[in-house]
Structure 1
Amino acid sequence: MTENSSALTDTVRVRVLRRPDAGALADAYLRNREHLAPWEPLRSEDFFTVNGQSAGIESKLGLFIAGSDVPWVLVEGSRIVGVMNLSGIVRGPFLSAHLGYWVDKDMTGRGIGSAALEFAVQAARSELGLHRLQAATLPHNTASQRILKRAAFEEIGLAPRYLHIAGSWQDHVLFQRILF
């Protein structure tokens, strides 16, 4: 998987997460704390610090080196404006991964999420040789569902009490895209 950046829009690029991103990532999570709270697990105060992000980056890069995850950041200049991950990459007969993403509250509605998903689909197919991507959204996250549908993901079902989000076990709508 290449670590070079690729253009998503005229101003936003995507690239693999790096160790020096801890400060910019802490800033991004702090800036988007309220925006992301309904869609993410409860976070400790340490998560929003440079040290907390440094520890998270080390963990993510370890999984990247092991070949089970690909952690990307969406950047505009030196500012991180989103995150996208392929996680739980499975090889063998499954050739599948989970896709997760978020875009900065001030950048929504500009096509960045759609461009990021198309980038992930192309990278999963051509660089990783994956057959399938899966994504999950809360039933009331209609904006994310629209982005997934626009990226040719199909709804495949409802997973009851799927993830512990915002302090409780919540149902999720599952989507998949078959890549080849």
Structure 2
Amino acid sequence: MIIDGVEMRGVALDDAAGLAEAFARNREYMAPTEPVRPDSYYTERGQLARIEELLAERDGGRLVPYVFVEKATGAVIGAINLGSIALGPLCSGGVGYWVDTAWHGKGLATAAVEEVCRVARDEVGLHRVEAGTLVGNLASQRVLRKAGFEEYGLAPRYLHVDGAWRDHRLFQRLLHDDPPGH
């Protein structure tokens, strides 16, 4: 559990229906911060295919995917991924997350980002974790700052989001200064 009433656990194939419901419920809210998605993305079948891809990335050591589940109802209320994992001299990964609008402002995203940073350091052995936000996404920037991230740059036309290439603010959190493999 990362906050009262919410479990953060590894994503599983049987999360497809819950994720489809959560994405559909939050579709309009998330549209300005997401790539344009086909309607099939918001279905159980579409989420099953997506989870299969996530699990293949996990099995290849490139991703650690989680979902947030409301313990009282069993509803999926968000997700977080530690992805783009690179070992060797870089020892870095990226974090991306979203939280159901009904759970905004309750500390869920901050707690989850902090936990993923712990996993990145203690279990994966990463030196740093990075994240990018749309320039105007002040809520996500607050989450990252609360979780110990520092802004380190601006990436023009960084990701294709909501139908256009969008500028992003880049953040990182250094986890330790040990050499790789320690």
Normalised by the length of structure 2, the TM-score is 0.95
1:29 is aligned to 23
Alignment partner of 1:111 is 2:104 = no
1:86 is aligned to 82
1:14-163 matches, cutoff 5 A? 14-77=8-71, 78-163=74-159
Deviating beyond 3 angstroms after TM superposition, the runs of 4 or more aligned structure 1 residues are: none
Letter in 2 for 1:76: E
Structure 1 vs Structure 2 CA RMSD: 0.5
Any unmatched runs of 5+ in structure 1?
Answer: 1-6
2:169 is aligned to 173
Give me the whole-angstrom Cα distance separating, in 2, the residues matched to 1:161 and 1:101: 20
Percent sequence identity over aligned pairs:
48
Any unmatched runs of 5+ in structure 2?
Answer: 177-182
Q: How many residues align?
A: 174
Give me the whole-angstrom Cα distance separating, in 1, the residues matched to 2:5 and 2:126: 29
Give me the whole-angstrom Cα distance separating, in 2, the residues matched to 1:137 and 1:51: 29
Give me the whole-angstrom Cα distance separating, in 1, the residues matched to 2:47 and 2:6: 22
| Cα displacement (A) at 1:27 | 0.3
Give me the whole-angstrom Cα distance separating, in 2, the residues matched to 1:15 and 1:82: 11
Normalised by the length of structure 1, the TM-score is 0.96
| Cα displacement (A) at 1:89 | 0.3
Give me the whole-angstrom Cα distance separating, in 2, the residues matched to 1:30 and 1:8: 24
